[in-house]
Chains A and B, each alone.
Chain A
Amino acid sequence: QVQLVESGGGVVQPGRSLRLSCAASGFIFSNYGMHWVRQAPGKGLEWVAVIWYDGSNKYYADSVKGRFTISRDNSKNTVFLQMDSLRAEDTAVYYCARRVSGSSAPWAADYWGQGTLVTVSS
């Protein structure tokens, strides 16, 4: 069965960096684009970034562009989110999610991890 397990969350001071990982299993990872989506406490979903199945394309929300970097290692079935220059407003649960199969485009996600909490605070 498809499993996505995020790790790397925690408490970090403003301006510092953090790297999230998402380990995938149960499907051919190298065939699927992957998303990061976040949810601030008590708030709605906010899309963060997407990476194509082969890493050839990466797109970001304006709110994180230039500070966050999405990457993947298909040999380790893992997608990463490098978060630099963190701000208080980046505090959220971060989910990784797999692009939906059956669509011609990767703009929906059919499997989600359980999320990892990132708290940016001094």
Chain B
Amino acid sequence: QSALTQPASVSGSPGQSITISCTGTSSDVGGYNYVSWYQQHPGKAPKLMIYDVSNRPSGVSNRFSGSKSGNTASLTISGLQSEDEADYYCGSYTRSTTLVFGGGTKLTVL
């Protein structure tokens, strides 16, 4: 159950778009369409932003979108806003019938 690989940090200016990658293997990200993304502000519980690779829960802004190619999933945030500054985690179902998270990416809005 190795953690999925995410960049430690990404940054962007207000109004720009950024993409966070999440790399796994064919036993997790690449093998199933059960990738999810979570936003976490300091001291707060995680919030689900994307599930099943590209589905947005009700109430999540359409500025957030998800995709997958091979063993790498991506979260794209368009029209960056200051409130998007947070930690982001990807998660994936695995062949071992478990859930594995990425190490997290700190998004800084410049």
Contact = CB atoms under 8 A, between A and B. Distances in A.
Interface of A: 35, 37, 44-47, 50, 59-63, 95, 97, 100, 102-105, 107-110, 112-115
Contact of A35 (B3, B55, B93, B99): B99
Interface of B: 1, 3, 34, 36, 38, 40, 45-48, 51-52, 55, 57, 87, 89, 91-93, 97-104
A47 B91 contact: yes
Contact of B51 (A35, A50, A95, A100): A100
Contacts, number: 72
A70 to B, nearest CB: 13
Classify the secondary structure of B's interface with A: strand
Contacts of A63: 1
B68 to A, nearest CB: 14
B48 A100 contact: yes
Contacts of A59: 97-98
A85 to B, nearest CB: 19
B34 A108 contact: yes
Given A45-B91, A108-B36, 9 more contacts: A45-B40, A45-B89, A60-B98, A95-B45, A95-B46, A102-B57, A107-B91, A109-B48, A114-B45
